[in-house]
Amino acid sequence: MADTEDQQTDEASDDFYTDAANYWSKVPATEDGMLGGFGFISKTDIGGSETFLSSIFKLKNPPGRKHALDCGSGIGRISKYLLTVHFDHVDLVEQNSEFLDIARTYLEDRGKKIGEVFAMGLQEFCPDARKYDIIWCQWVLGHLKDDDFVRFFNNCRTGLKENGMIVVKENTTSSNNVEVDTVDSSVTRPIDKLRQLFDQAGLISIKEQQQSKLPQGLYPVHMFALRPKGTVKNFQKCIRQ
Ligand SMILES: C[S@@+](CC[C@H](N)C(=O)[O-])C[C@H]1O[C@@H](n2cnc3c(N)ncnc32)[C@H](O)[C@@H]1O
């Protein structure tokens, strides 16, 4: 099993994103498809996120409730059951445009709450400055190479409003190693590796919680609430590849 460093120095790493895109192009645009055949955990997952988000709103200087961004949204499962419940407007960014087409009908009942929809990989995405109260990233970051992960989060910092936060909810390894999945072209990182990448992106984790009540045999899932380490300058531009 190669680690991320190997994968990134390998010339074949250019295929990392196209292989993932190919994988997702064959996955049904359903809640079950978004959850790799574990559609039955959706309620538990959303319940855990609800609790975590509520605890974030109770912090000193909490984020506002106007505008959220759903990163790697798929068909918009999290937008539908979590983000549109708590925010006035929700934007989506997702690399698979067919999922976004389905999202239009799947999220129809959320009406005008659904705002802009960006059909692109997170490795290419840069939010408008000072736009979002919450940037939610769930079950997608394993599809980013380390350097793109850091650049993406650096750019997200500039996309946050005052008191804005980034929430990460991801699988983690218990082995302390980065584990590679060649089937969907992703990696699963240990918590310390995630913390190291957050730090490199100028973010600090102010609250963490493990998702409970998941079936045995799945990776442990951890939630992180991240804030910029210092003041983000208004004029800071997006960093491009
Ligand atoms: C496991 S699904 C999770 C979907 C959604 N976050 C949820 O929890 O229901 C992963 C999603 O990430 C998307 N994805 C994969 N690589 C991506 C990338 N580089 N940029 C943006 N989205 C990506 C896939 O197309 C898929 O919709």
pLDDT at 2 over 70: no
Where do the structural domains in the chain lie, given as residue ranges?
A: 4-228
Atom 26 (ligand 1) nearest CA: 74
pLDDT, position 239: 80
Res 14 pLDDT > 90: no
Ligand 1 pocket member 31 (CB < 6 A) = no
86-99 tens-digit pLDDT: 999 999 999 999 99
Distance, in Å, from the CA atom of 102 to the CA atom of 110, rounded to the nearest integer, reads 14
What is the three-state SS of the chain?
Answer: CCCHHHHHHCHHHHHHHHHHHHHHHCCCCCHHHHCCCCHHHHHHHHHHHHHHHHHHHCCCCCCCCCEEEEECCCCCHHHHHHHHHHCCEEEEEECCHHHHHHHHHHCHHHHHHEEEEEECCHHHCCCCCCCEEEEEEECCHHHCCHHHHHHHHHHHHHCEEEEEEEEEEEECECCCCCEEECCCCEEECEHHHHHHHHHHCCEEEEEEEECCCCCCCCCCEEEEEEEECCCCCCCCCCCCC
Burial 184-222 (b: 16+ CB within 10 A, else e): ebbbbbbbebbbebbeebbbebeeebebeebeeeeeebb
What is the rounded radius of gyration, in angstroms, for the C-alpha atoms of the chain?
17
How far is the centre of ligand 1, averaged over its atoms, from the C-alpha of 94 (Å)?
6
Res. 160: pLDDT tops 80: yes
Positive or negative: CA dihedral 198, 6, 20, 120: positive
Per-residue pLDDT band at 237 (split at 50, 70, 90): confident
**C-beta 96 within 6 A of ligand 1:** yes
Looking at 2-11, 112-121, 204-213, which range is the least confident one? 2-11
Which residue has the least CA distance to atom 27 on ligand 1?
74
Atom 12 of ligand 1 has which residue's CA nearest to it? 72
The arithmetic mean of pLDDT across residues 119-132, rounded, is: 98
Ligand 1 neighbour 139 (Cβ under 6 A): yes
Q: Is a pLDDT exceeding 80 seen at residue 9?
A: no
Q: pLDDT value at position 231?
A: 74
* pLDDT number for residue 130: 97
pLDDT tens by residue, 18-77 = 999 999 999 999 999 999 999 999 999 999 999 999 999 999 999 999 999 999 999 999
**Does residue 20 line the site of ligand 1, with CB under 6 A?**
yes
Distance 190 CA to ligand 1 centre (A): 19
pLDDT the model gives residue 238? 81
Average pLDDT score over the chain: 94
Nearest CA to ligand 1 atom 18: 121
Q: Which pLDDT value is given to residue 240?
A: 75
Dihedrals phi, psi of 237, to nearest 5 degrees? -95, 165
For 185, list phi and psi in degrees, rounded to 5: 55, 65
Position 235 confidence tier, pLDDT thresholds 50, 70, 90 = low
**Would the CB of 99 count as within 6 Å of ligand 1?**
yes
Tokens of 162: 């005052």
Fold classification of 4-228 is Rossmann fold (3.40.50)
Residue 95 CB–ligand 1 contact under 6 Å:
yes
| pTM metric for this prediction | 0.94
